[in-house]
């Protein structure tokens, strides 16, 4: 078997979206060497994410910094907090969504893209809905 080179997604993470509920998640990013966590400047970094029916398929929802994603950092650890509000998944289109794919990417200030996490997204359907 040939050796592979390149960059793989850093974590395989499946996302569960409970329809009609606020879906919050948090991921951490840091780099380490022999001395421990490398303290780096995360100024200018951003993040982006998409939930889709399948890779290259219909986009169910998009997140970006300021639109569902928040970045904070302390002591060399970047925290990515995400929120898909219940109002998004109350849309009747989500009734037909079951299993899809998602990923989340970090974008450094110099434009370098780091694939932070990727996996399946599963929609857990609700029964209780807001009154119309």
In the chain, what is the greatest distance between 2 CA atoms, to the nearest angstrom? Answer: 59
pLDDT over 70, % of the chain = 95
Q: How far apart are CA 55 and CA 62, in angstroms?
A: 14
pLDDT over 90, % of the chain = 76
Decide which of 5 and 125 is more confident.
125
Indicate the helix (H) or strand (E) that contains 28: strand 23-29
Asked if the model's pLDDT at residue 132 lies above 70, the reply is: no
Question: Which whole number is the average pLDDT over 5-30?
Answer: 90
State pLDDT tens for residues 67-125: 999 999 998 899 999 999 999 999 999 999 999 999 999 999 999 999 999 999 999 99
CATH fourth-level superfamily of 12-124: Immunoglobulins (2.60.40.10)
């Amino acid at each position: 078997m040939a050796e592979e080179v390149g960059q793989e997604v850093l974590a395989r993470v499946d996302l569960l979206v409970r329809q009609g509920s606020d879906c919050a998640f948090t991921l951490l990013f840091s780099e380490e060497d022999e001395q421990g966590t490398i303290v780096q400047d995360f100024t200018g970094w951003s993040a982006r994410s998409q939930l889709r029916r399948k890779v290259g398929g219909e986009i169910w929802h998009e997140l970006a910094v300021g639109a569902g994603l928040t970045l904070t950092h302390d002591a060399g650890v970047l925290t990515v907090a995400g929120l898909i509000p219940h109002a998004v998944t109350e849309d009747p289109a989500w009734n037909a969504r079951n299993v899809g794919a998602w990923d989340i990417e970090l974008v450094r200030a110099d434009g370098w893209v780091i694939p932070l996490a990727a996996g399946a997204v599963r929609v857990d359907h609700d029964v209780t809905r807001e009154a119309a």
